[in-house]
Structure 1
Amino acid sequence: MKRVIALRGATTVSKNSEVEIKYASIELFSEIIKKNNIELEDIISVEISCTKDINKAYPGKFIREYFKLDHTAIMHFNEMEVDKSLNGFIPLCIRLLILVDVNKTKKEFVYLNNAKKLRKDLLNK
């Protein structure tokens, strides 16, 4: 029996440019798919949030084109900025939430570049 799981990950770019956003988005998505052994046809949707300093391109556009996800729902949001949050503000950050129809329980979240600061609790696992 299959079930839906949510896979998370985040990365950062060094500057707000279309090229950087494209490379980082494809790299992060690839790592999440690879580490979790996900088949592209099992992806239900992809939710993407970016900090407000990323505005030169939509990460989901590059993910859709590169992985040919023409029939997968992809949605973008701005990341909340919360005063005195535990993780602090990580600039130039892209976060992904991928909903997948699978038959497994283990999940591997992926945090790359400066986004590793968001989930230090996952780094040593």
Structure 2
Amino acid sequence: MIRGIRGATTITADQEEFVLAATQRLLEEMIEKNKVDPESVASVFISVTPDISSAFPAKAIRRFKHWRHVPVMCMQEIPVDESLPFCVRVMMHVNTVKPQKEIHHVYQEKAIKLRPDLTMEDKS
């Protein structure tokens, strides 16, 4: 069965090194908390808010050993008024037998406010 693992983070400015570093930290935590093997990953979608244009955050996933063949796609978020600025969101599709309640979604930096209910679950 394929399950989605969600994650989001924010950066302080639209600079390539910020985009890649924040995306790498987010992916590392998503992978670690969910014990993700790259062979089990069907695809990864990464979206950014319209104020991010300095880099493709998908470049960060290429830094991980054995992730070279994982299909990754970047896209732009819908520009909703008053949405969280400088935000990178990830949706990782993973083949797993884990039930939904055992999937650990990861929210970092200012993105914690997007899903505080999920962030609090991981801390309890």
Percent of residue pairs bearing the same amino acid type: 36
> Alignment partner of 1:45: what SS?
strand
**Structure 1 Cα separation of the partners of residues 3 and 53 of structure 2:** 29
2:87 to 93, 99, 105: 93
The equivalent of 1:15 in structure 2 is 13
Matches within 5 A, 1:111-122: 111-122=107-118
**Structure 1 Cα separation of the partners of residues 21 and 2 of structure 2:** 28
**Structure 2 Cα separation of the partners of residues 50 and 18 of structure 1:** 13
Matches within 5 A, 1:67-86: 67-83=65-81
- Equivalent residue letter for 1:36: N
Runs of 4+ in 1 over 4 A off after TM superposition: none
Report the number of matched residues.
119
Tell me the CA shift for residue 58 of structure 1: 0.4
The equivalent of 1:107 in structure 2 is 103
Matches within 5 A, 1:47-66: 47-66=45-64
- Equivalent residue letter for 1:103: V
Say whether the 8 Å CA contact 2:105–2:119 is kept in structure 1: no
The equivalent of 2:42 in structure 1 is 44
**Structure 2 Cα separation of the partners of residues 104 and 22 of structure 1:** 29
TM-score normalised according to structure 1 size: 0.89
TM-score normalised according to structure 2 size: 0.89
> Alignment partner of 2:9: what SS?
strand
- Equivalent residue letter for 2:77: E
Tell me the CA shift for residue 49 of structure 1: 0.5
**Structure 1 Cα separation of the partners of residues 38 and 70 of structure 2:** 9
RMSD: 1.3
Residue-by-residue CA offset, 1:24-77 (whole Å, 9 max, x unaligned)? 011000100111111121111000000011110001012123344221111111
Gap regions ≥5 residues in structure 2: none
Tell me the CA shift for residue 107 of structure 1: 0.6
Gap regions ≥5 residues in structure 1: none
The equivalent of 2:26 in structure 1 is 28
